[in-house]
Amino acid sequence: MPRQNPQRARSKSAAGDSALPALPHDVPVEMPDLPKSLAITTLEQFKAISDPVRSRILAVIRAQPATAKQIADRLKASPGAIGYHLRVLEAAGLVQVVARRVTNGIIAKYYTRTARIFQFDLPPELVDKGAVPMEIMTTARGELADALADARGEAITIIGFPHARLSDARARLYAARVEQLQEDLLNEPADPNGRVYGLCVAWFLSPAYMQSEAAPAENRPTDSAPAKRRRGKRTSPPR
């Protein structure tokens, strides 16, 4: 999967901002065709995207460009605070200005993301072990909490946390299926009349306290035990 270079995105945004012509009032701001992904490779980017307010800003402009004032209205925040967060995100190469409009003598900038998704590709020496997956799940938890508190939370239909005892081969199969589901969703054409849905998945080996140890030798079936008796004790498939 091709990934956009963050340094190139940053310089392109900075150079293109002042060169954008001011749109007339009757011309709508269109969503550009964004690159599919951008790699998060620096600590600056990781810190920028880890802030909960900036994470919400990136969610707001995922499908439609917006100004600092419009974002502030959506998030019930001050335009000044949102403007600060947008500057941090722009410096990190995560947002870009795609249009300008002059209203009452004031230039309004329309921001959107620099890619549809951000993929973490940080060197291990920059962040603690587990920081990236925990950051993703923390962001997802915050969005889920917002969705549940929202009146439109009825759109959430599937929530679960199942476990299963699997062989390594079956575990790899499920991992591939989960990865393919995410890929299918990312490749889904955007419906201009649709609503935004989120998918949060984490396929992982459960912690050690959930793993059973091997049965003691005295409790294991032996070849000397009658075969019929061993079969009779198994009334359902192992789980």
HSE, side-chain direction, 13 A CA sphere, residue 81: 11
DSSP code of 215?
P
pLDDT category at 210 given cuts 50, 70, 90 is: very high
Query: pTM here?
Result: 0.74
What's the pLDDT at 186? 87
What residue has token string 């059973």? Answer: 212
Distance from the first to the final alpha carbon of the chain: 37
Q: Which domains does the chain have, with CATH numbers?
A: 6-126 (1.10.10.10), 158-239 (no CATH)
Q: pLDDT tens-digit profile of 142-197?
A: 999 888 888 766 777 788 999 999 999 999 999 999 999 999 998 898 888 888 89
- Please state which of the ranges 98-107, 123-132, 189-198, 215-224 shows the lowest mean pLDDT: 215-224
Pairing between strand 106-113 and 95-103? antiparallel
Torsion of CA 205, 210, 215, 219, to 10 degrees: -140
228 or 56, higher pLDDT: 56
CA distance 80 to 51: 17
116 or 216, higher pLDDT: 116
Q: pLDDT tens-digit profile of 88-115?
A: 999 999 999 999 988 777 888 999 999 9
